[in-house]
Amino acid sequence: MFFINSIFWLWLFFVPTGIFSFLGFLLYEKNNNNLPYSIILAIAGFILGIIFAEYVRKNYGLDNFFGRISATPDIEDRNILDDKTKTDEKSAN
């Protein structure tokens, strides 16, 4: 369970870090004099990534958070076998 939670934590950490680092890269590409601002954006993304991952871990639980994200409530109550027999009955008629 530690391994899975570590992957989930890193996943939550990399999202804000990646977004802010990408914005810093775009800012740097626009003008090379923006390097300090790009570094500040990358550091801010790093810090926000840690804060966000720890907030989710402490308040919701990482496995619960990702379980709710990847849930498909629109098909949870459907029974696939019942749908298949209804389809088979319609095609037989």
List alpha helices for the chain, DSSP H. Answer: 2-30, 35-59, 62-69, 80-92
| Terminal Cα distance for the chain, rounded | 51
Inter-CA distances, 72 with 39, 67, 75, 78, 83, Å = 39, 10, 6, 11, 17
What secondary structure letter does DSSP report for 32? G
Residues of the chain where predicted confidence (pLDDT) is lower than 70: 72-93
Is pTM beyond 0.75 here?
Answer: no
What pLDDT does residue 2 have?
85
Delimit the domains of the chain by residue range: 2-92
Give the pair of three-digit tokens for residue 93: 């008629």
